[in-house]
Structure 1
Amino acid sequence: MAFGGSSFYKGSDLIHDYSCSKCEENDLNTEAQHFCPECEHYLCDKCVRIHGEYFKKHVVYGRGDIQKWTGFSMDRCDQHGNKLEVHCDDHQELCCHVCVSLNHRFCSSISHLPELARGFLEKAEFKQLPEAVDKMRSRLDELKNAKMKDQASLKDSYKNILAEIKALRKEFNQILDELEKKTVEQLDSMKKDLEKSLKDDIEKCTHMNELLKTMIDKFRQITGKNKETNCYVGHRKCKTKLTEAQNLLHEIQEKPVETLCFKYDSSIMPFLRNLNMFGATERVISKAKRLDSGYVYKGQGSKKFSVRIKKDKNTCSIEGICELPSGDLVIADSNNRRLKLLDMKYKVTAHLDCPASPEHLCHTTGSEVAVVTYEDKTYIVYFLTVTRGQLHLSRKFTTDHDCTSIAYHEGLLYVGSDSALYQYTMDGLMGKVIYEERGVAKCAVSPDGERFYITTLYGSKLITLDKNGQVLSKLRDPELKTPRGVCVSPSGHVFVCGYMSDTVVQVDREGRQKLATVATEADDLACPQSVWFSEQTSSLIVGNDDDSIVVIKLC
């Protein structure tokens, strides 16, 4: 690595960890020795002198303070600080020239950002980003406030227990001094641990909230001749950060709420001299429901969208729906043996013809989707990826049984057949039989992997299993005739559609009772057989058996 600010033409193979921003504008590749946080510019020794003449009050950090160089910039690489120039389609990453040289030299598809950003300002996903960020910030505020209430409750419980300990102490003689000391020490230690956990959650929420605010503020301030490209880059970064924020929400919400409880030993007086402490201070899980867990949704209006294309010869039958991190949808049209890609306006933008009829699908990771197919006693699980707006088959494995449904959780696939629910690895190795039941239609798994939900063609019931395959409940309801599609939201809410009743109902997490009928035939449901909850739009997407999907806004 060269130091001192030597300049080379931009085409030089010399790689710097940080390159001078001003030299880059003149197609020079010069190593930066300084950083101005106000200008967000990396500067070489020559350019920093010119910068100092114009911006005398700006504080500039040298290599000795390189830890202060990092910060958020819309058009800069977070890792190397260089201007973002291309997008690696293989890894779905924004890259500077250093990223390409170090990590993406052997990738098959690299796209220039101006090309990808062309027309981006008119797309719905660009226009909807501020609203999505505002919604996420609002949810972070709600979670932060809930945790602050837990923090206050923890302090109150601590004070109450301490007062109880002091009241007991008055009834004892001096021999109890040491016992009191040990008990309070235990309480203080446990309180400290719990406070640290709550403090960490609050700080994480605050940090993420502030970061999202900074990002969206800078996003809204983007101007200049490169506005379109910078907006595209900013959008990609904001979407990535929104995903991180969603993961943070899920992580914190899944934690049980713990408080303190002191259990008084009623036999303390007779055995006083033989005890080491007054009693045991314990952590207890609050019975209060976590944020979001008690929501019962209500439909707030619906809209029907056609998913038929010119090549379709048969009526579209939508057997499966899943959403990608980009907000696009992939649907399985079994009657026409096609997988279709829908944009955020629910318009078919691409399709892929399948060798066999796709019966169901699920999102795995990134832009990958797993699809189960069935044709002439050949049962295949296909994997496809979405790259540059197109669907591509990537790999497959076969099974020894028919395939009617598929779900994914933490590196494992759960494949339903007409007689059982099986566990598979991503490489196609069968792990075990989770549950056996005649007529399994569709399956879904809870976000924590603790529960499975399966619908059956016989008996019109929803079966809920624990992670070991033990039956927790079997639900039948008059408004849920011939249940087919089932999905679980990231917060754990369960939705099931009734094929013969033209309904979508929400059930509780244990699958024991119906909480609400979210949609009916009046919402244009026509033999619904698949359902998906979109966290990004707070909507249900329902696949009909009549060339359409129905989008139901929830509140």
Structure 2
Amino acid sequence: MEVPGKKLQARPSAADTTYCQPCEQDDEILPAEAFCTVCKEFFCSKCASLHRKQKISRSHNLLDKSNMPTYIVGHEDNHGYTEPCKTHPEESIKYFCSAHQTLICGHCAVQNHRSCHADVISDISKAFKDDQEYGDVIKTIARLFEDIDLCASDVKKNVDVVAKLGKNEVYKLRRYREEVNKYFEVREQELLKLIEKTKHMDEELLESLKPKYTNLKSKLEEINVKLSAEENNIIQLFIETKKAKKLLGGLQNDLADIKKDNVIHHYEFRKDPTTERLIASDTGLGTLENIVTEPHKIASASESDHGIKGLTVQGDGTRENLGISRPTVGQATVDLTILRFTSAMVIPMTSPTDNKDCHLSSMLNLTGSRLLIADSNNNKVKVVDMQTNSLVSQISVPGQPWDICLLPRDRVAVTMTLSGVQFLATGGQLAIGDHFEVDGDCRGIAYHKERLIVSFKYGKVAVLNMNGHVIGQIERDSNGKELFQCPIYLTLVCEESTDFIYISDTSRDTITKLDMNLNIIKTFQEPSLKGPRSITALGDQLLISGYRSNNIMILDLSTGQMTLTGKKEGIGKPLFAYCFPQQGKLLVTEVFNNSLKVFNTIA
């Protein structure tokens, strides 16, 4: 193979010599000392040095004289072979190994493919353009171009989605922060007003006492003057002394009344445990939740006015859901059926201002260890601290309180039998709020999405708005038959993301399940349960007090089975049963009992 860059045949003595191609263009004949594998040119030593210095070619690979080829790839004698072999750069690819599907040069064929069948490319490529393989490659290229364009379009869309997503979530976060700020501003103003109101009451009281003790002191000074004036007249002194003695008894009584009235409110601001936990939390306000989304669907995620579906900030939502914990079927909780109860203690529930024996008709756990209890006989709502096991405060209400439900923003709603529904603030000290009247003897109560579900003693269940207006009610079936006889307690349970109402009918010994449209779904009855009263939910189980059967029943909502408990523990005529799982306790109130019974729970 004697193929120089351009071989000069004019000098036979130089037949095997390769010359510098750039110099040859200038009719200067110089022997080649190097070969550029990129430019495919031979260079003399001077041209090679210049080639190495030029910016455009300084990175090119130059082969020295001992390693450079003896011909230039691409010469007319090479039959169109222009692709150098990667393994042997001085050789051109001329063959195709069908066994390895590999392009090879002559050196490769000898060294690595001796046992293979290698075709000469110039022979097999003549009709290649009409072959299916070439057509498939062209089609694949076209499809790949389309796919790349689609991918580029998706990337562009995702750029817009990323921008909108960040903007929308920041908007939601800041909007929620504004709601939180507003909530705390309202709470601060409420507390400030309460402090100011209490302070004003105490100031008015003390101001009213000033003229009383001033007048008392004046009368006393008058008596003292009269006695001093008659010191030299024994007879008159005797008379004045006897008169003074009678007056002093009245003055002492007046002073005792002043001392009795001289009672001010001692109060202090206490930090809310829930707020304290929020401040200490690393996830306060909310978290950013990653949603797994298929890559090809990201760009087409549906958008709302102020947010994109699929990515949510935890805690973002309507204020009505804050602070409301509704038992959910299936959530991890204690299994009440395996618990055994041992009597631990009783907490006295009477106070010096009570006029009657207690009738503890309802219980509700507030934040921390506080327990709210309705005392219908004494027209009071009382607060028990389960850490100290003591009655810590109370508030008088304008009627007989029966049942209590939790509302958003540290409030509760209390049914007042014949006096409607009373709202109380529970953030600090209990405080009287708004009130509305209802038609009938209202008993059980629950809260659901700015609505109150209320049961009435004489057979009615109604849904009211927060102002007391009736939205819907159920009393009789289509045949005019009474559906309930005495439904005095109810509770709300979420089953597989659907809310249901459970009602105890103490006269018919039944537990009835209703949907939120007040349609009856199912009725449960068990011979061992008589006179069901309170009904509270814990996970997928209902805790039911059997007033006439002197027991506690557990209704498993997943199976519909009822299990008896509590009778052996000495529970008699229970009014209300409440499980306090945080402390492993069962709390029970009984008729004609001025105490709250506390049972330890043992698995």
Question: What is the TM-score of this pair, normalised by structure 1?
Answer: 0.49
Rg larger for = 2
